[in-house]
Amino acid sequence: MADPAESMPIRPAQPQALTAQRLWSTHDFRPFDKGAIDQSIADRFEQQAGQYPNRIAIKTTHQQLTYAELNQAANRVAHAIVARRGSANEPIALLFAQDVAVMAAMLGVLKAGRFYVPLEPSHPQQRLMSLLEDSRAGLIVTNGRFLPLAHTLAHDAVDVLDTDALEPQLSPPDLGLACAAENLACLLYTSGSTGKPKGLLQSHRTILHRVWSEATHLCIRPDDRAVMLNPFTFSASLRVIFSTLLNGATLYPFSIRDEGLSNLGAWLVQEGITLYYSTPTIFRYFTSFLKPEDRLPTLRMLHLASEATTRRDVELFRQHCLPHCYLVHSLSSGETGALRVYFVDHQMPITDTVLPVGYAVEDKEILLLDENGAAVGTNQSGEIIVKSRYLSPGYWRQPELTGAAFQPDPTGSGARLYRTGDLGLLRPDGCMVHLGRKDFQVKIRGHRINMAEIETVLLDHPAVRDAVVIARQQRSDEQELAAYVVPAVQPAPSVSALQRFVRERLPEYMLPAAFVLLETLPRTHTGKVDRPALLAADQVSLDQEKPFTAPRTPIETALAAIWGEVLGQERISIHDTFLALGGHSLRATQVASRVRDTFRVEIPLADLLQASTIAEMALVILQSQAEQMTTAELERLLAEVEGSAEATG
């Protein structure tokens, strides 16, 4: 790898007004030809594999593949799909962890002329089956780790392909199938306003245009090393996956769910990562594990998107990154790709509490319109409308929703218009400020969530008459979901029962952190739910539903202190569940790190998180400690535990 000081960006005086070529050092940058967007992703990848066969294409903490090896692995999948399914252009479901195998499968699907539908194995089975049915995928591609789950989801109605069963020594040639740039490449599900997930489509051209834009703005080079922290089911993952693999660079998937965040800093330094992508929330949790003096010396770009980036984030960036590194904040969506971009260096004054979303990018014209469809002036709020030839094709099997969101440009330019539902204003210098949403859609830890989907699930509960979900500020830089429920029967369902009901149907990031039981929902004089008034409602505490059980052993006492610190709560029963108390995956990484430091045990994060209460987690820790104890030490510890249990009855 080249010396970072020799290939890092040169700091300009006014970074916002400069082109990418002036912003970055370009002596080793090979521009992405814009004409390359009019081909297939498979063609572009095969070109990179031919040009850089021995360069590492993808590397995880456990495995790595060169471009030639990744191409061969993808070819094995592609040939198996065609042999199994013929030549039909159909959706193919992918069921994998975030590792090397999923990248080979993803490219294999595209090489076979299909489009992929990513499924997150950790999501509730009911939701996965719903997505599989809606997508109409005829095949699930998976590996041995998730093969039982794949067969459960398939119900003998969908074919299953186990990539671990493919002969690893086979090196089949590229299929060479013709694939037009406008063909579908992937189908990603997001939260929907109708109460059901909606499938967002991407074509080869829209993805390649985003790769061209990303490569141009950030001057992505073959010697770059990009970390991927978002799951491959996340729409933002398209940016890092394809911007890396279609430019000859190296992709470093890192599973927060499996690895946690406590060792991420050391890993970034060890691997010489140059490009960092994540949401601001993940960045804040990640940097909480760093010491004040810790630095990330090889980073040249830290890209934060999908949420508001704050002045505090800039301070963290300047604390842990060297002067050659830039912070890049952007406004983007799955429907549009990047719309605006904002660069921050180490000297630039920051006066805004929340960073603006920045300046124009090529091929994405922004219109700011009022409620009557008229253009607003400078420093006036309006809905952000995107005009471009490179928008998503629309929503899977939802023509009415597609027609409402995407419309032809009335001027006849051939472009289309997309109504984002976001509000913004334009400053006199052309810099845009994001002002939030018009509707009830929010971003929680980077995930786009429509409240209607959660409300629909709650209303499916037989004991619920009415339900509303809102986002409320929980900490200075973090939001949480709160559900307000009107019971249909008495006695009312318990909060824990409602939580369990939702948890069985929705992914973890959509679970409300708080439930409030009300006799009726407050309404305005027009009959609409008065959402601001809901914030004044008193939360029904779990403590009121079941007896409080205090810690009984030193381990439980220490765990209660750790949970209380991470969750911001003073009184926690050892039988309260982590999720019920407002915990989520990022906070779980903080708990895991503190457990390791406090008890001096190495427990896999996934194993630790399966213990949902303090009582269960204490047993996991006890078992881990017992494996390292002598017989006499173990007997003394067991006697202590039994004595504590007898004392509490």
- What pLDDT, on a 0 to 100 scale, did the predictor assign at position 362? 92
| C-beta separation of 208 from 35 below 8 A | no
The secondary element (H helix, E strand) that includes residue 129 is: helix 125-135
pTM of the entire predicted model = 0.80
Domain assignments of the chain as residue spans, ordered by start: 38-202, 363-439, 441-540, 554-647
Q: If one looks up domain 441-540 in CATH, what number appears?
A: 3.30.300.30
Of the listed ranges 34-38, 64-68, 211-215, 442-446, the least confidently predicted one is: 442-446
* pLDDT surpassing 50 at residue 443: yes
- What pLDDT, on a 0 to 100 scale, did the predictor assign at position 287? 94
502 against 110, higher pLDDT = 110
In the Cβ-directed half-sphere of 126, how many Cα atoms lie within 13 Å? 9
Non-local CB neighbours of 452 within 8 Å, separated by 6+ positions: 192, 193, 194, 195, 440
Phi, psi angle pair for 192, to nearest 5°: -115, 150
**In CATH, 38-202 is 1.10.3720.10:** no
Non-local CB neighbours of 318 within 8 Å, separated by 6+ positions: 346
Amino acid in position 494: S
* pLDDT surpassing 60 at residue 51: yes
- Spatial CA neighbour of 362 closest among 12, 30, 37: 37
Equal CATH topology for 38-202 and 554-647 = no
* pLDDT surpassing 50 at residue 21: no
- What pLDDT, on a 0 to 100 scale, did the predictor assign at position 266? 95
* pLDDT surpassing 90 at residue 216: no
In sign, the C-alpha dihedral spanning 219, 223, 229, 231 is positive
Q: If one looks up domain 554-647 in CATH, what number appears?
A: 1.10.1200.10
- What pLDDT, on a 0 to 100 scale, did the predictor assign at position 541? 40
CATH architecture under which domain 363-439 falls: Roll (2.30)
